[in-house]
Amino acid sequence: MRQKHLVILAKEPRIGRVKTRLARDVGKLAAWRFYREMLHALPKRLSVDKSWQVWLSISPDHARFRSFSQGPVRYLKQGSGDLGARMIRPAQHLPKGAFIVVGVDIPEIKADYIKKAFKLLGTNDAVFGPAEDGGFWLVGLKRHPVLANPYGKSVSWSQSDTLQACLDNLKGKKVAFVETLSDIDSGDDLRRWREKR
């Protein structure tokens, strides 16, 4: 088993249950199609580098692990709780080693960014990929034992100060950063990404 683990958090791709903010702008069907596209493409793209194991963590836990993705991935249940609880849970279940968590709705993620993040974890306790909206698209932690928990105190998710709240919980720890990216939350986000392809 590899000693580096990349966990991709995702929801079971059901129309009307994924990318609901995006669906307000482009409709439920278009939002679902985008989500399915990412769910199939991202694990395949990020598993090209064999120096880490890709895990696809699907919610809800009772979702059937049929062919959600392409590429050599393993599956991991998310469990219950808020986003912070679901992002720290891999520390309890994965084989030993550093782990990075990303979402499935950031189409500009590249394997090079993941490689850089793992490298930074060699000399840091945590690594973040900031998002343009004040949150983050990537978080990576050293573990065994968990040296740092960004979610130890209450964090308001999907807010302009989400990343800063996590950084406040890591005072005294060494934190590094990789590239700033954006997830796709609106029709304008989707249009800009499509135009850049």
- Does residue 99 contact residue 143 with C-beta atoms inside 8 Å? yes
Q: What is the pLDDT of residues 110-145, one digit of tens each?
A: 999 999 999 999 999 999 999 988 889 999 998 755
Joined tokens for residue 17: 């249950």
What's the rounded Cα separation, in Å, for the pair 125 and 183? 25
- Which letter, b or e, does each residue of 164-193 get, where b requires 16 or more Cβ atoms within 10 Å of its Cβ? ebbbebbeebebbbbeebbbbbebebbeeb
| Beta strands in 18-141, from DSSP E residues, in sequence order | 53-59, 73-77, 98-103, 126-130, 136-141
Q: What is the pLDDT of residues 141-164, one digit of tens each?
A: 987 556 667 877 678 777 788 898
- Does residue 150 contact residue 126 with C-beta atoms inside 8 Å? yes
Q: Tell me the CA end-to-end span of the chain in Å, nearest whole number.
A: 35
> Helix or strand or coil: residue 67?
coil
pTM: 0.89
Tell me the Ramachandran region of residue 49: left when phi exceeds 0, alpha when psi lies from -120 to 50, beta otherwise.
Answer: beta
Q: What is the pLDDT of residues 13-39, one digit of tens each?
A: 889 999 999 999 999 999 999 999 999
Q: What is the pLDDT of residues 46-57, one digit of tens each?
A: 998 899 999 998
User: C-alpha 12: how far from its chain's center?
Assistant: 15
What's the rounded Cα separation, in Å, for the pair 182 and 109? 9
Domain 4-192 has CATH 3.40.50.150: no
Q: Give me the pLDDT at residue 90, please.
A: 84
